[in-house]
Amino acid sequence: MPLNFDLALYGNQLLNEQSKTRLFNPENSYSWRVGKVPVTKEKNINVHMYDGQFDGYSSMMTRFIGDKHSIIILSNVGISYFLKQQLTFDIADVLYNEPLKSRENDVSLILINSLISGTFEQTLAGLEAKKGEYSFNETSLSVLAYQVLWSGIGNESLQLFSFISNTFGDSLKAKSNLQLACNHRITNDSLNKQHFCK
């Protein structure tokens, strides 16, 4: 179904040219992200990108207009825009024969896997002990922490917000995010809340 919708946007049966021009106007794009992205060192291509999320479902559609390629991500777990975009551009690297980025030490993916496997606390402690071996991205970790919070996993979200605040000690945003999580209704019954929310 999403592929049929994507293909229909290239023709004029679903929308005429005038409607498509209005829909994909970069100045007022009706919730679509419209612009150019670098797909290789030498090549920028026009893309139309749309993403959404509700009740644990998440999706992203990225249309590489000039080449008529599309990447459609459908997920039954709520993943953030940041991670959907990262996955989309990793797939685009394959599509455009670009070198693949190593995700072996991607802390956000390591933590997602630990949430699934039930080893979150041990994994977070291990990452903290080996901080010099990993590259931590505050935005990526914060987005993940909010996803965990919104998924109703209060204790783990508090641990992660606290970890981010400690790792990025000079970041006012990290401190503010921890405070917001401490005051969130989902964390009311979290274990060791007093330890994280001083």
Domains of the chain: 2-95 (no CATH), 107-196 (1.25.40)
166 and 196 Cβ atoms separated by less than 8 Å: no
Q: What mean pLDDT do residues 78-101 have? A: 88
SS3 198: coil
Does residue 2 contact residue 72 with C-beta atoms inside 8 Å? yes
Does residue 116 register a pLDDT over 80?
yes
Q: How many CB atoms lie within 10 A of CB 32?
A: 18
pLDDT band at 1 (very low <50, low <70, confident <90, very high): low
Residue type, 125: A
User: Are residues 116 and 125 in contact, defined by beta-carbon separation less than 8 angstroms?
Assistant: no
Mean pLDDT of the chain: 88
Residues 6+ apart with CB under 8 A from 62: 47, 48, 49, 70, 71, 72, 88, 92
Q: How far apart are CA 107 and CA 156, in angstroms?
A: 15
Give the model's pLDDT for residue 132.
80
Name the pairing type of β-strands 57-64 and 33-38: unpaired
**33: its two tokens:** 């992200």
The pLDDT assigned to 61 comes to 93
d(Cα 25, Cα 12) in Å, to the nearest integer?
A: 17
Give the pTM.
0.70
Give me 144's structure tokens: 């993940």
Q: Rounded to whole angstroms, what are the CA distances from 14 to 5, 19, 29, 32, 90?
A: 8, 10, 17, 17, 30
Query: Amino acid letter at 71?
Result: I
Examine the pLDDT at 58 and tell me if it is beyond 90.
no
Q: Give the whole-angstrom CA distance, residue 65 versus residue 82.
A: 21
Residue 45 has pLDDT above 70, yes or no: yes
- For 131, other C-beta atoms within 10 Å of its C-beta total 12
Contact criterion met (CB below 8 Å) for 119 and 98? no
Q: pLDDT above 70 covers what percent of the chain?
A: 97
